A and B are shown apart, each in its own frame.
Chain A
Amino acid sequence: MTMTTTHQTNNTNMADPKPTPKITVSVVPKPKATAAAQHTPQSPPVKPNTAVKLRQFNAWYGQTHVLHDINADLPEKHVTAFIGPSGCGKSTLLRWVNRMNDLVPTARATGEIKLHELDLLSRSTDVVDLRRRVGMVFQKPNPFPKTIYENILFGPKLHLKLNKTESDQLVETSLRQAALWEEVKDRLHTSALSLSGGQQQRLCIARAIAVGPEVLLMDEPCSALDPKSTSAIEDLMAELRKTYTIVIVTHNMQQAARASDYCAFLYHGELVEFDATDKVFTNPQDERTESYITGRFG
C-alpha cells in the first residue's frame, strides 16, 4: 500500500513546483555540494565547528557491506538527525561513533571517524574513555534495576571517587538537565523501574549526561514512547544542544524536522544528502531524499 498523500500535510512549504537551483550548504564535503557551495539567506551564516568527522567510512557486519564511503562533518552543539528507511545503516553509523559495535564480533570498519582529534577507529583508542566522552541513549529505555539515584551515579562512579555531597549534587544536576528532577526528587531511592516509560527514558538521558559527555548519541529515543513523552524528550533535546553535540537516529520524519538542525539521509548504506534540516525538508537535492521525506517509501 502506498501512502502518497497522507504524509504530505506537514510539507506544505514544498508546494512550489519550480525546479530550484542546486544550492547546498557545505556541511557535507560531497563533491557535488562543494562545487556549488553558496550561502542562501536562510542557511546558517557561520559554519559551526565539527565535533565528529567521518571520512571514507565503510562498515561491515561479516560479509555484509552496511555503510559505503560516508563523508560527513557532524557540527558541534547542534542536533544532527540521521533519517532513512529501516536497514539503511543509520543505527550502525551511530553505534560506530562510540564503538558500541565492538560488542558485535563480526562488525568491522575502515576509513576515518574522528572526535575532534581523537581517531575513533584506532586500536590504541581507549573505548572506556571514548564512551565517557560520547554518551548514548537507546531505543527502549534501559534503566538498571537499581534506584534512580544509583542509576545516575553508575557511570560517574566508574570514573570518579565521589563523596556524599558530590554524589547528591551530581544526581541533582543530571536530573535537572534531563528535566526529571521535579518529578523524582522525592523518590530518588525508589527503583528506576517504577517510573513511566517517558520518565525512564529521561532517566537514561540523565544517566548518560552524568558522566559529562561531549556528544550524545540517541538511537530512536522516542520510538517506544507516547506522544506526550516524545514531546518532552524533544523539548529536552532543544535545551541540551546548547551544551552537547546531539546525534539522533529517527524514523519519525516530523521529529527530524522539528528537533534537528542538520539532517542526514541515508539510503542503502550511502549518505545521500546531508544539509541543514530546513533545506533537506523544503528543498531536497536528491530525488531519493524527496521520495523518502514525502513518505513515498520507507
Chain B
Amino acid sequence: MVARNRAAIASQGARPSELANMSSTVAISNLTAIGRPRSVLWRKARESAVMASLGLCGLFSITITLAIIVVLGTETVAFFKLDDVSITEFLFGTQWSPLLGAEKHFGIWPLISGTLLVAAIAMLFAIPLGLITAIYLSEYAPYKLRSILKPVLEVLAGIPTVVFGFFALTLITPSLQWLHSGFGVYNAMSAGLAVGIMCLPIVCSLTEDALRAVPRSLREGAYAVGATKFDVSVKVVVPAGLSGIVAAFLLAIARAVGETMIVALAAGSSPKLTIDPRSEIQTMSGYMVQIFLGDASNFGPEYFSSYAVAATLFIMTFALTVLGHKIRIRFREEYQ
C-alpha cells in the first residue's frame, strides 16, 4: 500500500506532489568560517555600562520619592513644634481657620471632609458611567465605533484640569443653580462633577483594558452554554476582570483626592465640616494652592500647616495605592 502510494505520488501530476512535503536538499556549509569575532571586552564593558545607567534611572525615581517624603516630614515636624499648634488638635479638631483673626485653629477634619466629599461625588459620577462605558466599548461596540470613541476618551484625559475648573464655574454651577436655588457660586457638587468628568477617561480606559484582557475563551465558554451578551458581560467578563477594574477605580479615587485646580476654582475656600454638596468647602489641595499663591505670610504657622496637610494627603493617596496593589494581587486570576 505504502509503496504503491509513493509510486503514485511520484508518477502523477500536481495533486499528490502538492500533498507531499518537499524535502530540503540545501547543503549545510561550515558557518563558523564566515566573519570576524567581535571584541569580548567591548561586549562586557557595554553590558556593564547599560546596567549601571539603567540602575541609575531606577534609582532616580526612588530618590525623588524619598526626597519628597523627607521634605514633607521635616516641615511637618517643624509645623507641630510651633507654639500655637498641637498635634491633638490637628488630628481631632473640627475647625480649620488658619488665616482668620487672632485665634487660629488647625483641625484637619474640615479639609478631609471637603476632599472626601468632592472625591465621593466624583466617583459616584465617574465609576458607574466609566464602568458602563467600558463594558459597552469592550463587549458591545462595533469595531469602527470603538476606534472613534476610544481616542475621543483619551483626548478628554489630555485636557488640562484648569479647563475643567472653568467648565465647572461657567457651565456646571449655573446649571446646578438653575436646577436648585440652594447651590452657591462655589459648591462641592460642581467641583465634584467636574472632577468626575476628569476621572471618567481614566476609569473607562483602564477598565476597558481590564475587560479586554479577559481571555476570549471565557466568553466563548459562556456563549456555548447559551448565555446572552449581557450574561457574558456581567457574569463572566466583569468578575474575571475584577482586579483590574478595582485597580482602575482606586487610581481614579487617588486622582480625585489629589485633584487641585478644579477644586481651587470651583469648590471655594471656606473649610467646613459638612456633607452638604451645595455648600462651599475647601479641600486639602485647594488649601495648599491658597497658601502658596500668597494668601499667607511666609514662615507663619499657616505656611507650615500646608506641609502638614500635604503630608496627610500624601498618606491618603499612598494608602490608596497600596490598597490597589494588594487588591490586584489578591484577586488576580492566572490564566494559562
State whether A208 and B236 are in contact (beta carbons under 8 Å apart), knowing that A288-B19, A296-B19 are contacts in the complex.
Answer: no
State whether A128 and B228 are in contact (beta carbons under 8 Å apart), knowing that A138-B220, A142-B218, A142-B221 are contacts in the complex.
Answer: yes
Q: Which of B281-336 contact A (CB under 8 A)?
A: 333-334, 336
CA of A105 to CA of B1, assembled, Å? 45
Chain A proximity mask over B185-216: 1 for CB below 8 Å, otherwise 0: 00000000000000000000000000000010
Quick check: is A108 within 8 A (CB to CB) of the other chain? no
Point out the residues of chain A lying under 8 angstroms from B16, CB to CB.
Answer: 287, 291
Quick check: is A1 within 8 A (CB to CB) of the other chain? yes
Between A and B, 20 residue pairs with Cβ closer than 8 Å are A1-B23, A4-B2, A8-B2, A17-B3, A100-B224, A105-B142, A129-B226, A132-B226, A142-B217, A154-B235, A155-B226, A159-B226, A197-B336, A204-B221, A211-B225, A287-B8, A290-B1, A291-B16, A296-B9, A297-B20
Point out the residues of chain B lying under 8 angstroms from A297, CB to CB.
Answer: 19-21
Q: How far is the CB of B134 from chain A (nearest CB, A)?
A: 19
Q: How far is the CB of A202 from chain B (nearest CB, A)?
A: 14
Q: How far is the CB of A154 from chain B (nearest CB, A)?
A: 6
Quick check: is A294 within 8 A (CB to CB) of the other chain? yes
B226 engages A158 (CB within 8 Å): yes
A99 to B, closest residue via Cβ = B223
Q: Which of A265-295 contact B (CB under 8 A)?
A: 287-288, 290-292, 294
- Known contacts A2-B20, A291-B5; 16 additional CB pairs below 8 A are A17-B1, A17-B4, A100-B220, A128-B226, A131-B225, A140-B336, A144-B221, A145-B218, A146-B239, A154-B225, A155-B226, A158-B225, A291-B16, A291-B20, A294-B2, A296-B19
Point out the residues of chain A lying under 8 angstroms from B217, CB to CB.
Answer: 138, 140, 142
A144 engages B215 (CB within 8 Å): no
B142 to A, closest residue via Cβ = A105
Residues in chain B within 8 A of chain A (CB atoms): 1-6, 8-9, 15-16, 19-21, 23-24, 142-143, 215, 217-228, 231, 235-236, 239-240, 333-334, 336
B334 engages A193 (CB within 8 Å): yes
A292 to B, closest residue via Cβ = B19
CA of A129 to CA of B227, assembled, Å? 9
Q: Which of A1-49 contact B (CB under 8 A)?
A: 1-2, 4, 8, 14-17
A132 engages B225 (CB within 8 Å): yes
B214 to A, closest residue via Cβ = A145
CA of A74 to CA of B20, assembled, Å? 30
Residues in chain A within 8 A of chain B (CB atoms): 1-2, 4, 8, 14-17, 98, 100, 103, 105, 128-132, 135-136, 138, 140, 142-146, 154-155, 158-159, 193, 197, 204, 207-208, 210-211, 224, 287-288, 290-292, 294, 296-297
Partner among A2, A14, A103, A145 whose Cβ is within 8 Å of the Cβ of B1: A14
Q: How far is the CB of B331 from chain A (nearest CB, A)?
A: 9
B225 engages A155 (CB within 8 Å): yes
B1 engages A15 (CB within 8 Å): yes
CA of A297 to CA of B9, assembled, Å? 12
A145 engages B336 (CB within 8 Å): no
B240 to A, closest residue via Cβ = A145
Point out the residues of chain A lying under 8 angstroms from B21, CB to CB.
Answer: 1-2, 297
Partner among A4, A131, A158 whose Cβ is within 8 Å of the Cβ of B6: A4
A224 to B, closest residue via Cβ = B336
Q: How far is the CB of B9 from chain A (nearest CB, A)?
A: 8
Point out the residues of chain B lying under 8 angstroms from A138, CB to CB.
Answer: 217, 220-221, 224
* Chain A CB within 10 Å, residue with most, of B2, B8, B235, B336: B2
A298 to B, closest residue via Cβ = B19
Point out the residues of chain A lying under 8 angstroms from B240, CB to CB.
Answer: 144-145
Point out the residues of chain B lying under 8 angstroms from A208, CB to CB.
Answer: 224-225
Q: How far is the CB of A94 from chain B (nearest CB, A)?
A: 11
Q: How far is the CB of B220 from chain A (nearest CB, A)?
A: 6
A158 engages B227 (CB within 8 Å): yes
CA of A155 to CA of B226, assembled, Å? 7
Point out the residues of chain B lying under 8 angstroms from A98, CB to CB.
Answer: 224
A103 engages B226 (CB within 8 Å): no
A144 engages B20 (CB within 8 Å): no
Point out the residues of chain B lying under 8 angstroms from A193, CB to CB.
Answer: 333-334
Point out the residues of chain A lying under 8 angstroms from B8, CB to CB.
Answer: 287
